[in-house]
Amino acid sequence: MTKLKLEDYHFRMQIEKGIDKVVMTLRVMILDKPGHFGKVATAIGNVGGSLGDIKLVGYGHEYNTRDITVFADNDAQFKDVLEELGKVEGVVISNIIDPVLELHRGGKIDVKSRVQVNSISTVRKIYTPGVAKVCKIIEANPELAHNYTAIHNTVGIVTNGTAILGLGDIGPVAGMPVMEGKAALFDSLVGINGVPILLRSKDPEEIIRTVAMIAPTFGAIKIEDIKAPECFEIEDRLSEMLDIPVLHDDQHGTSVMVLAALLNVSDYVGMKVKDDTIGLVGLGAAGIGIAKLLLAYGVRKLVGTDINSTARDIFSKVGGNPVPLQEIMSVSDIVIATTGKGGLIKKEMVRKGQVIFALSNPNPEITVEDARAGGASFAMDGRSANNALAFPGVFRGALNARARKINFRMKIAAAKAIKSCAPAGELLPSILDREMHTKVAEAVERTAFETGVAAPRTEELEET
């Protein structure tokens, strides 16, 4: 029996729709005799593991090789699975494959031509000499770049890697897998070309200058995972400088999703969001973005807290009232936490009837179970909420309208569209609900025209 040491492998958590599991694929050689695969399944089950996909990958004279996906609650339990399998006669573990790493191997995105290049005639049309005709048309009327190039359907995804997910400042290159993931969602869900842009700078002036210089390549700019407070200045300055939408997803994608969830939960528990006291625990990019959108929606009583005095000052300037955490928990009807600090809110702090959104991943500020035990009328954690519900449709609608910016009314329209698509009994729809993304895009596009930020349509020039 060949045994593989646990320390030889890198294990990581996979978090998917509320399921926290270690997920690994074991490549196992199993003696080709009746009952031996059953012994494998039994061994895995004996220590609490469970089976996923099973795939036959090879035949041998004595052994058949299968890839078996195994789910375990944690690394320790997965180690128990390996040890238990090591006791089974006629079973050899030949490899352990991390399916997350395999999915990322080689990157997740490509740049591909929309034109089949299979003749010299085609080459002459898409490149020299034929392309000169298109260049001259655009030179005469730059607006026609939206008709004859991919600019109108391309979004720059810009990061400096200073606030990657819950990982913090890990740098732009280590953050690239996240940017590729965003690009993959853009393409799959709404047909947008997302282009990651990695900036090796923490200087807001340098970032602003660089993005402004490359902006002609894109129909919109998505600021991603740049830490607060620098992200606020970067977005605001670029929005003023450029005639295309600039949106910081950590602020606005999150805020749209939160507003959609609040609109639904208010129906379930009989609350009126505009009249309720809403408390924000954590005033970083997400917290401030939520604050701005809730105030724009019409919320009149908004309190918040953060350990950072600069964050509290910014919150006060946008219209919120900074107060201590204990006061938030005692006066708020709705509490929204985005601190990244698991266990910050104790169940004894929850007031009966409160709505609690503890959105930090992977460890929420308070678990759903503890919030309910403390008396919350409704509780949600970050595993059920993802800003990918919002940003694909928001950008699709803005690009369709050729909007100069994405304003609050467009974001509110997006939140209402998301809310309307939630299945009965659910707070939010699935990220993979493509009809929802289409409805969000339509609502955003329509609102862009209604609010006067959409560009007038440019008629194509006839080719001569």
Q: What is the pLDDT of residues 302-336, one digit of tens each?
A: 999 999 999 999 999 999 999 999 999 999 999 99
* Alpha-carbon distances of 371 from 18, 331, 350, 377, 386, rounded to whole Å: 16, 16, 7, 9, 20
Q: What pTM does this model have?
A: 0.86
Residue 248 gets the label, from left (phi > 0), alpha (psi -120 to 50) or beta, of beta
Cβ atoms of 234 and 226 within 8 Å: the answer is yes
Amino acid at residue number 420: S
* CATH classification (class only), 6-104: alpha beta
Of 377, 388, 448, nearest to 16 by C-alpha is 388
The domain made up of 153-251 has a fold known as Rossmann fold (3.40.50)
Average pLDDT, the chain: 91
pLDDT at 11 over 80: no
Residues 6+ positions from 76 with CB-CB distance below 8 Å = none
Q: Please, what's the b/e burial string for 259-277 (b: 16 or more CB within 10 A of its CB; e: otherwise)?
A: bbbbbbbbeeeebebeebb
Q: What percent of the chain has pLDDT over 90?
A: 81
394: tokens are: 């928001």
pLDDT band at residue 20 using 50, 70 and 90 as cut-offs: low
* Alpha-carbon distances of 289 from 53, 93, 321, 338, rounded to whole Å: 40, 49, 15, 11
Of 262, 325, 309, nearest to 290 by C-alpha is 262
Query: pLDDT at position 459, please?
Result: 52
Q: Which of 3, 33, 127, 274 is catalytic?
A: 127
- How many whole angstroms separate alpha carbon 65 and alpha carbon 57? 6
Q: What is the mean pLDDT of residues 413-432?
A: 93
Q: Where in the chain is the domain with CATH 3.30.70.260?
A: 6-104
127 in active site: yes
What does the DSSP 8-state code read for residue 157?
E
182 in active site: yes
Query: pLDDT at position 455, please?
Result: 86
* More confident: 360 or 183: 183
What would the pLDDT profile of 406-421 be if each residue is shown by its tens digit? Answer: 999 999 999 999 999 9
Q: Where in the chain is the domain with CATH 3.40.50.10380?
A: 153-251
Burial of 106 (0-12, 13-18, 19+ CB in 10 A): exposed
Query: pLDDT at position 80, please?
Result: 94
Query: pLDDT at position 385, please?
Result: 80
Q: What percent of the chain has pLDDT over 70?
A: 94
pLDDT at 215 over 70: yes
pLDDT at 458 over 60: no
pLDDT at 211 over 70: yes
Query: pLDDT at position 10, please?
Result: 34
Q: Which of 21, 182, 405, 439 is catalytic?
A: 182
What would the pLDDT profile of 359-409 be if each residue is shown by its tens digit? Answer: 988 789 999 999 999 999 999 998 878 889 999 999 999 999 999 999 999
pLDDT band at residue 3 using 50, 70 and 90 as cut-offs: very low
pLDDT band at residue 456 using 50, 70 and 90 as cut-offs: confident
What would the pLDDT profile of 197-210 be if each residue is shown by its tens digit? Answer: 999 999 999 999 99
What would the pLDDT profile of 111-168 be if each residue is shown by its tens digit? Answer: 899 999 999 999 999 999 999 999 999 999 999 999 999 999 999 999 999 999 878 9
Cβ atoms of 255 and 402 within 8 Å: the answer is no
Strand partners, 380: 357
* Residue recorded with tokens 């939520």: 290
* More confident: 72 or 166: 72
Cβ atoms of 366 and 380 within 8 Å: the answer is no
Query: pLDDT at position 362, please?
Result: 77
- How many whole angstroms separate alpha carbon 202 and alpha carbon 172? 10
Q: What is the mean pLDDT of residues 347-358?
A: 95
pLDDT at 93 over 70: yes
- How many whole angstroms separate alpha carbon 27 and alpha carbon 374? 45
Query: pLDDT at position 386, please?
Result: 87
* Alpha-carbon distances of 339 from 101, 306, 353, 357, 383, rounded to whole Å: 28, 8, 22, 12, 15
